[in-house]
Amino acid sequence: MAKNLTIAESPTQDRPRERLMKLGAHQLRLAELFAVLIRSGRPGESAVQAGERLAAAFGNDLAALPDASAIELKGISPAVAKTAYCQIMAGVELGRRVEQAKSDANNVRRIGGSRDAIDFCRSHFARLVADGHREEFHIVCLDTKNQIIGTHQISVGTLDASLVHPREVFKPAIKDSASSVILVHNHPSGDPTPSREDRQVTRRLEEAGTLLGIDVLDHIVLGSQGGISIREG
């Protein structure tokens, strides 16, 4: 009975890493991309075979891959142990960040009002809406022309005053020399309706921003049902 080949033992033309170096990552099949990330197989299953299994499982629903658990992937292939799982998820997240960076670079955004703020936040923080299982609080920093300078994550967890202390919120804004900021957080429930605590935190940060000379232009709450501006609400 023929043994299962590792990537290194496979014929050169069949090795995903060599094909990537020669042809470019865009020329590799999905199974080969998985194999490169998995790197090494297990007794009875090579990295290439594991890649084929994952491609068969996710080929028609690749958008489901970021939500797959380590147990789920190992159930598809025993070669996807802890290290391989971490490499796959790191690759997924890196790809997402690269695409977001390209989008941001090609679309210098100026915020002219709450509608612009909601649209930007729904696009830039789409991950929070799609797979945010916990509340995350971020800020968007703007210059004197209300053009976006950058975004920063402040906290993860249920929104309250202890997690969004003004010191932590405005530290990156001061570093960016921001003229103003937009506050943004998600509701994992999907309903973006601002809570009493959301409004209390907003008022507290507005007061702190006034003292620092950094305006709080808006606070956007995101959910799968849409986005809401606390300033307009």
pLDDT digits (tens, 9 = 90+) for 12-23: 446 899 999 988
Q: Are residues 127 and 212 in the same domain?
A: yes
Q: Which of 155, 160, 161 is nearest to 136 (CA)?
A: 155
Q: Which amino acid appears at position 191 of this protein?
A: D
Q: Which of 102, 120, 144 is the last residue of a domain?
A: 102
Place of tokens 């800020």: 139
Q: Is 215 helix (H, G, I), strand (E, B) or coil?
A: strand
Q: Are residues 98 and 116 in the same domain?
A: no
Q: Are residues 154 and 126 in the same domain?
A: yes
Strand blocks (E) in the chain: 136-142, 148-156, 180-186, 215-223, 226-229
Q: Which of 94-98, 99-103, 210-214, 229-233 has the highest mean pLDDT?
A: 210-214
Cβ(124)–Cβ(100) under 8 Å? yes
pLDDT digits (tens, 9 = 90+) for 41-80: 888 889 999 999 999 999 999 989 999 999 999 999 999 9
Q: Which of 78-92, 93-107, 184-198 has the lowest mean pLDDT?
A: 93-107
Q: Are residues 113 and 177 in the same domain?
A: yes
Q: Which of 129, 21, 36, 128 is nearest to 91 (CA)?
A: 36
Q: Which of 26, 36, 42, 120 is nearest to 80 (CA)?
A: 42
Distance of alpha carbon 97 from alpha carbon 100, whole angstroms: 5
Contact partners, residue 173, CB within 8 Å, separation at least 6 = 139, 141, 152, 181, 214
Domain of 90?
12-102
> Which pLDDT score, from 0 to 100, does residue 13 have?
43
Looking at the predicted structure, is the pLDDT value of residue 107 above 70? Answer: no
Looking at the predicted structure, is the pLDDT value of residue 131 above 50? Answer: yes
Cβ(108)–Cβ(147) under 8 Å? yes
Quote the pTM value. Answer: 0.60
